[in-house]
Structure 1
């Protein structure tokens, strides 16, 4: 079964286009804590489905646009 993880580069590109250059700006737009975004962007934690959906809504993209398939360990 495939595994997926947040495509941090895709999130950063979308955020930059929207003028959100910091984790705090992304967090405000998405409606989550800055520390949540910081942990996601540094790959220290996996996002919940809710967070991925909120990211997609905030940047007008699909969930699929924010995830990437990785090889199972």
Structure 2
């Protein structure tokens, strides 16, 4: 499942003086409920992710959390 760095968005938003979901929504040009769902952990639509990234100067690559790399167990015969 896609995981996004909500802390990064929150930190960038606070740095710009945007402290409420409404502030963030206005700057990004999206609905407040989309912001609320984003911070609640719901996977947003691509337009929502893009709007948030552009609003705060975040690269999409930085917004998407990398999955933990796991090494498959070795099979012994």
The TM-score normalised by the length of structure 2 is 0.79
Find the residue that maps to 2:18 and give its secondary structure: coil
Which blocks of at least 5 consecutive residues in structure 1 are unaligned? Answer: none
The unaligned stretches of length 5 or more in structure 2 are 69-77
User: Equivalent of 1:38, from 36, 39, 63?
Assistant: 36
How far apart are the structure 2 equivalents of 1:13 and 1:51?
A: 18
Q: Greater share of strand residues, 1 or 2?
A: 1
SS in 1 for 2:13: helix
Contact kept in structure 2, 1:5 and 1:46, CA below 8 Å: yes
- Mapped contact 2:53–2:60 kept (Cα < 8 A): yes
Matched, 1:67 2:57: no
Looking at both structures, which has the greater relative contact order when contacts are Cα pairs under 8 Å and sequence separation is at least 6? Answer: 1
Q: Which runs of 4+ in 1 moved over 6 A?
A: none
Shift of 1:4: 2.8
Distance 1:67 1:18 in 2: 21
Q: Please give the TM-score of this superposition, normalised by the length of structure 1.
A: 0.83
